[in-house]
Chain A
Amino acid sequence: MRQLIIVGSGPAGYTAAIYAARANLKPLVIASSVEFGGELMKTTEVENFPGFPDGIMGPDLMMKMQAQAEKFGAEIVYDDVTKLELDGDVKRVTLGDGTVHESLALIYATGSAYRKLGLDDETRLSGYGVSWCATCDGAFFKQKHVAVVGGGDSALEEATFLTRFADKVSLVHRRGELRASAAMQERAKNDPKIEFLWNKEVTSVLGDEKVAGIGLTDTVDGSESALDLQGLFVAIGSDPRTHLVHGQLDLTAEGTIWVDGRSSRTSQKGVFAAGDVIDPTYKQAITAAGSGTAAALDAEHFLASLPTGVIAEAEGSGELVDQIGASA
């Protein structure tokens, strides 16, 4: 058994791992099999992470965080959690390959998942012109007309990135103004390839085998229109990934994991949460990293408060369930 398991490998998970490893907690990080490194693995240049005045590529930043965590003794497993058992003094984590890991404390930092429009044809044409990742798929739309749906920083970032390839990028937003930062807005508005379609909602995706257009409904007067294009990039935000802890941890009205004040302490003793999964508002790499720090320090404090002997006993026992069972 371990002292600490960290579920998640974005800025929150890896920063928690750096702090916990430096505190000699020998954390095990469950990084996921295909989404390790988190959302930044799908971005290009990150210009607002302090310490990198010339910007840094998202995947490079995550590889550096990983290397920093490993340097201090964090161990990383590339698999997905299929089951969490958080009640009781020992936390149990089951992985995709059936392995079970146990720990006295657990940090949950699974981030958020892209939101979908919720249209039937969106799923059918996903990968055939409908995409959630401009950096992955943008290059297939050279000299094409594409649309980006959304009004936040990520939507504008995607729109600006897509102008490298597409001839025309229509930004569809259901309101008359954007949520995105002033810098992103200015860049997009000055880009001759980007066209803004205000007060419009995407209500259908058209096309048989691939995207041929989208149907729009005006949010002010209800009028309908259609737009011929070849690609649709959806950037309408994300929802916290909490499915593994439903019924085990309290959630907030916004769907994020409830934590006690500014701490990372969840409703379950010994379980801490960090990053986008507790944050309905900011969702930045640097706020997630800060949140990961708080979780590592809270976990460290919790472990230090356990009765003498508990940690020594835990570290002396084996990793696998049957061994724990036999010793119980």
Chain B
Amino acid sequence: MSAKDVTDATFADEVLASDKPIMVDFWAEWCGPCRAVSPILDKIAEEHADKLSIVKIDVDNNPETAMKYGITSIPAMKVFKNGEVVKTVIGAKPKPALEADLAEFLA
């Protein structure tokens, strides 16, 4: 199952109001590394569905949110807890490296 899309319009409801940690994958169609990391994120989401939700947002179609969070490099993955960014991971990484970066949210 691939990660659900959120938008500028739904970001507050879906992400900021989430009651469990939620990771947002900022991506774009033309970004090769984003396409590479996307199936890895899906896998992590599937394996840790009870701990961490993962959604994605297309920065081209949702510039407001991308600008608000100062995105200058994608893929950028930000974990939100109670509406605040608590972790940022930048760049496509292999699954073990991403799991290590996200360890505190997956345990």
Confirm or deny: A113 has a beta carbon within 8 angstroms of a beta carbon on chain B. Answer: no
Asked if A128 contacts B72 (CB within 8 A), the reply is yes
- The reply to whether B40 and A34 form a contact with Cβ atoms under 8 Å apart is yes
Residues of B within 8 A of A97 (CB): 95
B53 to chain A, nearest CB (A): 22
Q: Which residues of A contact B34 (CB under 8 A)?
A: 136
User: Residues of B contacting A127 with CB < 8 Å?
Assistant: 72-73, 76, 88, 90-91
Encoded as 1 (CB less than 8 Å from any A CB) or 0, chain B from 40 to 82 comes to 1000000000000000000110000010001111101000000
Mark the stretch among A137-145, A183-191, A275-283, A304-312 that contacts chain B: A137-145
B37 within 8 A of A: yes
Judge whether A135 is part of the interface by a CB distance below 8 angstroms: yes
Task: Establish whether residues B33 and A129, one from each chain, have CB atoms under 8 Å apart when the complex forms.
Answer: no
A34-B93, A96-B94 are contacts. A41–B32 as well, Cβ < 8 Å? yes
A42 to chain B: closest CB distance in Å?
A: 6
> Which residue, of A35, A127, A128, A135, has the highest number of chain B Cβ atoms within 10 A?
A127
Q: Complex Cα distance A209/B31, Å?
A: 24
Given A33-B40, A96-B95, A127-B72, residue A59 in contact with residue B32 (CB < 8 A): yes
Q: Assess the A137–B72 pair: CB atoms within 8 A.
A: yes
Query: In the complex, are the beta carbons of A136 and B31 less than 8 A apart?
Result: yes
> A80 and B94: CB pair below 8 A?
yes
Asked whether A137 lies within 8 Å of B36 as measured between CB atoms, the reply is no
Is A35 a contact partner of B36 (Cβ separation < 8 A)?
A: yes
Task: Indicate whether A292 reaches chain B with its CB closer than 8 angstroms.
Answer: no
Near A by CB (< 8 A), chain B positions 71-107 give: 71-74, 76, 88, 90-96
- Tell me, in angstroms, the Cα distance from A35 to B37 when the chains sit together: 9
Q: Is the CB of B72 within 8 A of A136?
A: no
Contact in complex: A129, B72 (CB < 8 Å): yes
Q: How far is the CA of A42 from the CA of B33 in the complex (A)?
A: 8
Main secondary structure on A side of the interface with B: loop
Complex Cα distance, B37 from A139, in Å, reads 19
Among B60, B70, B72, B92, residue most surrounded by chain A Cβ atoms (within 10 Å): B72
A210 within 8 Å of B (CB atoms) = yes
B32 touches A37 (CB 8 A): yes
Whether A210 touches B36, Cβ cut-off 8 Å, given contacts A136-B31, A139-B28, is no
Bound Cα distance from A135 to B28, whole angstroms: 11
Residues on A with C-beta less than 8 A from B74 are 136-137, 140
- CA separation between A139 and B31, bound complex, in Å? 10
In residues 1-47 of chain B, which contact A (Cβ within 8 Å)? 28, 30-34, 36-37, 40
A-B pairs, 7 with minimum CB distance: A127-B90, A34-B92, A41-B32, A127-B73, A33-B94, A140-B72, A34-B36
Starting from the known contacts A96-B94, A129-B72, 12 additional A-B residue pairs (CB-CB under 8 Å) come to A33-B95, A34-B36, A35-B36, A37-B32, A42-B33, A79-B94, A126-B73, A128-B73, A133-B33, A133-B73, A135-B32, A231-B72
- In the assembled complex, 19 residue pairs joining A and B whose CB atoms fall closer than 8 Å, in A order, are A32-B94, A33-B36, A33-B94, A34-B37, A34-B94, A37-B32, A59-B32, A80-B94, A97-B95, A127-B72, A127-B76, A131-B72, A135-B31, A136-B34, A137-B72, A140-B66, A140-B72, A140-B73, A141-B72
